[in-house]
């Protein structure tokens, strides 16, 4: 089974300290669902500038958690929303991004359990 997360960055960043890892993962698990909903709302209302800003704000967290496919998607969402190009692709990208994030969050919950 392929994993959605790679804890290498976070483990290096925290010096492998389990309490710090749990703290950062827990913060991500609290932040991410709300951010996904905000992004979905911006997409639904065709507010592409705000969608770009929300994607940009979430991107570092995605990178820290090692969500490689999520990183690719959030960068693409940020790019297309910011440049208002291929906006017809944004709903599918957003759906895939949400799915990847939810699977990654499931993995992360197990990681800190």
Tell me if 37 is assigned to some domain.
yes
Tell me if 34 is assigned to some domain.
yes
Tell me if 45 is assigned to some domain.
yes
Q: What is the pLDDT of residues 67-102, one digit of tens each?
A: 999 999 999 999 999 999 999 999 999 999 999 999
Q: pTM for this one?
A: 0.93
Domain CATH code at residue 58: 1.20.120
Q: What is the pLDDT of residues 42-71, one digit of tens each?
A: 999 999 999 999 999 999 999 999 999 999
Report the domain count for the chain: 1
Give the DSSP per-residue string, the chain.
---S--THHHHHHTTT-HHHHHHHHHHHHHHHHHHHHHHHHHHHTT-HHHHHHHHHHHHHHHHHTT-HHHHHHHHHHHHHHHHT-SGGGHHHHHHHHHHHHHHHHHHHHHHH-
Structural domain of 79: 8-112
Tell me if 56 is assigned to some domain.
yes
């Amino acid at each position: 089974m392929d994993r959605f997360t790679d804890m290498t960055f976070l483990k290096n960043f925290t010096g492998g300290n389990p309490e710090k890892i749990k703290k950062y993962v827990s913060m991500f698990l609290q932040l991410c669902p709300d951010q996904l909903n905000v992004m979905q709302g911006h997409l639904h209302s065709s507010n592409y500038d705000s969608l770009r800003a929300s994607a940009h704000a979430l991107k570092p967290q995605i990178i820290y958690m090692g969500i490689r496919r999520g990183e690719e998607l959030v960068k693409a969402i940020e790019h297309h929303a910011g440049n208002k190009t291929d906006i017809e692709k944004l709903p599918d990208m957003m759906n895939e991004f949400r799915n990847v994030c939810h699977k990654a969050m499931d993995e992360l919950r197990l990681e800190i359990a």
